[in-house]
Amino acid sequence: MAISVSGLSSGINTADLVSKLMQAERLSGKGLTTSKNTAQSLVTTLTTLNGQMKSLGDAAKALVPDVLTGGGSAFTSVTATSSNKDIATATTTDKAVAGSLTFTVKSIAAAGSGAFDRTFAAGESISADAFSFHVGSGEKVAAIDVKAGATIQEVAALINQSDSGVKATTVQVAPNTFKLQLTSATTGAQSGVNVTDGSTTPMASSVLGEFKTLTEAKDTVLTIGSGANAYDITSPTRDVKEIMPGVTITPVKADPTTPVTLDFTADVEGMATKVEAFVKAANEALGTISKNNKWDPEKKSGGALTGDSMTRALSTDIQNAFIGSSTALPSSIGISIERDGTLKFDKTKFVANFNSDPESVTKAAGDIATKVGQVSKQATSAADGTLTLRIQAGQSSVKDYTAQLTKFEERMTLREATLKQQFSAMESLLSKMQAQGNWLSGQLASLPTY
């Protein structure tokens, strides 16, 4: 590495001089840096706004029925109320409709289980000879081939590795004393556990003992009505699904003597929550546009969206969509537009209006949400959304400015190296001249004087 001593010959601090010259050279790049930062700020703000507009579209979609799939909206949702949650509860989907159902819980689905009555010590050989047997549940059955000298734990492992529909476990009934228990992997009346001996001796029953039922396999059974006209509804699982469209009933305990009534009513609270989320999403988008469109007279600078006509038009489109129409007034769903252009939701007014005229409220919400959804789609469409295209253009600008700054830095690096080389050459030349001057002075001083 070359050693450079700044100003050794000239007395000039050339390193400082080069630094100051480069500072002056770099002034021409400030415009590029400023332009890149401005473009990046715009992209960041538009990306945030794009996400908020998508959220607004999702919130609007929740208030409009899906005509393609037949799915409901927040205004078609119902909630289930149980007269006795200790016996049965229910959940609903958007397919559920208002109604009522009374029943008793006769039984709750259970898996069949049983155990062999002989016990064994851990690691004990249960038979000096190999034997086999069949085990299964429902339509499944598997042959279990046990090798000579196997332990009870190894038999359990063989059953668990088979496709028998049965789970095996060794239960410790006393210190170091185990018995083999089998349980169906499924529930329902057809889930009993079946064990049969193989065709050769020794028989499994003589080795493991008699297989005795512990738990009867059961379906969930709900009884509708009473007397001669009563009828049962069965399910192999604990839950009873689609007894009514979009309804799942979950029994908690069997009690054939206590009727339970499930009432399915309009979920007004759920509707209000969705409308409130709709208004909040709109205010967030409007707030981002307003905040970034202001001019600061003290700093003499504006936000990223100052003077941006596209986002101002978007703000106007959102507000116009919330104006509604003569047949779809925002006030009917508890929404009002404030003086500053933001939206306000009155839950009490919404609930009162829905309870008095649910049809009008549902229509108004659907119409307004549809318009807002269209505004969201026009702005955020991946193909040709106005925000999407602006973001892409901004990202392209940032990329271009980055490339220009990279080239600028390369030029500055080269320029700095050139200056250092020039000053180094000057220092070298001055050093040689100084050496020659010193030599000449010495020669003159050595001349005789007369």
pLDDT at 25: 76
pLDDT at 376 > cutoff 90 = yes
The whole-number average pLDDT for the span 75-86 is 91
Question: Coil, strand or helix: which one is 102?
Answer: strand
- Highest mean pLDDT among 5-9, 197-201, 340-344, 414-418 belongs to 340-344
pLDDT tens, position by position, 378-390: 999 999 999 999 9
pLDDT at 23: 80
- Highest mean pLDDT among 51-55, 357-361, 441-445 belongs to 51-55
> H or E stretch including 208?
helix 204-208
pLDDT at 71: 56
pLDDT at 1 > cutoff 50 = no
Q: Which of 15, 4, 40, 28 has the alpha carbon at shortest distance from 411?
A: 28
pLDDT at 205: 92
pLDDT at 2 > cutoff 50 = no
Written as six digits, the tokens of 7 are 């100003």
pLDDT at 237: 97
CB atoms within 10 A of CB 299: 7
Quote the CA–CA distance of 235 and 188 in Å, as a whole number: 7
Write phi, then psi, for 131 (nearest 5 degrees): -150, 170
Residue 180 or residue 418, greater confidence: 180
Residue 335 or residue 18, greater confidence: 335
The whole-number average pLDDT for the span 97-113 is 95
Rounded mean pLDDT of the chain?
A: 89
Written as six digits, the tokens of 345 are 């939701």
pLDDT tens, position by position, 304-361: 898 899 999 999 999 999 998 888 899 999 999 998 889 999 999 999 999 999 899 9
- Highest mean pLDDT among 4-8, 164-168, 340-344 belongs to 164-168
Quote the CA–CA distance of 134 and 145 in Å, as a whole number: 9
For residue 152, give every residue at least 6 positions away whose Cβ sits within 8 Å of its Cβ, in sequence order, or none.
Answer: 120, 122, 124, 126, 170, 178, 179, 180
How much of the chain, in percent, has pLDDT values that exceed 90?
66
What's the pTM value of the predicted model, to 2 decimals? Answer: 0.65
How much of the chain, in percent, has pLDDT values that exceed 70?
95
Instruction: Report DSSP letters for 371-418, one per residue.
Output: HHHHHHHHHH-TTT-HHHHHHHHHHHHHHHHHHHHHHHHHHHHHHHHH
Q: How far is CA 223 from CA 78, 250, 342, 448, in A?
A: 24, 14, 54, 140
Q: Which of 86-90, 123-127, 197-201, 274-278 bottoms out in mean pLDDT, i.e. has the lowest? A: 197-201
Burial of 199 (0-12, 13-18, 19+ CB in 10 A): exposed
pLDDT tens, position by position, 218-238: 999 999 998 899 999 999 999
pLDDT at 444 > cutoff 60 = yes
Write phi, then psi, for 426 (nearest 5 degrees): -65, -45
pLDDT at 69: 42
Residue 77 or residue 174, greater confidence: 174
Q: Are 82 and 260 in contact (CB under 8 A)?
A: yes
pLDDT at 377 > cutoff 80 = yes
pLDDT at 3: 40
